[in-house]
Structure 1
């Protein structure tokens, strides 16, 4: 019986990538507010295009996950602003 680990690697990496983006969104909103949304869009576009150009399934998938996570982070960035407004997260006084 031959084992294929690509799916497991993609699953674990996806979990880690999504987990990594959570604190990035929080720190980005704290330091820059929502005006940094374009950086997430840029990363999303670049990694999504790269995913289309890379032939290897593993790397293409991981690039696509980073791209999708970047696009989703734009939404989360604006929601994080609301969480800060509600007092759930600290607000940086001077930006």
Structure 2
């Protein structure tokens, strides 16, 4: 039996699940000005995925990179959700 596909599927599920709260908390505490952190993570992960020979790790790095890039858009969408009142807005102190 080969478990590579199953491992990739489960790990992808967890990676995407990890980015959901990262976007929400990131926007809450820092606003959209942290978009470059997600961009940097994406570039590094995609570049690393091109250099790793192992299919499993290369795929997981690519998923991490794609999720990082997707999170940039979600960060700006989260800002709109906060403006609509769907999520709490952080009070300035």
Range into which the TM-score falls when normalised by the shorter chain: over 0.9
Aligned partner of 1:10 among 8, 11, 14? 8
- 1:90 equivalent in alignment to 2:79: no
In the other structure, the counterpart of 2:61 is 63
Give the superposition deviation at 1:93: 1.6
Aligned length: 93
2:49: which partner in 1? Answer: 51
Alignment gaps of 5+ in structure 1 = none
Distance of 2:89 and 2:35 partners within structure 1: 18
What's the TM-score once normalised by structure 2's chain length? 0.98
Distance in structure 1 (CA, Å) of the matches to 2:75 and 2:53: 32
Gaps of 5+ in 2: none
RMSD of Structure 2 on Structure 1 (CA): 0.8
| Segments of 4+ moved more than 2 angstroms | none
1 CA distance for matches of 2:44 and 2:23? Answer: 18
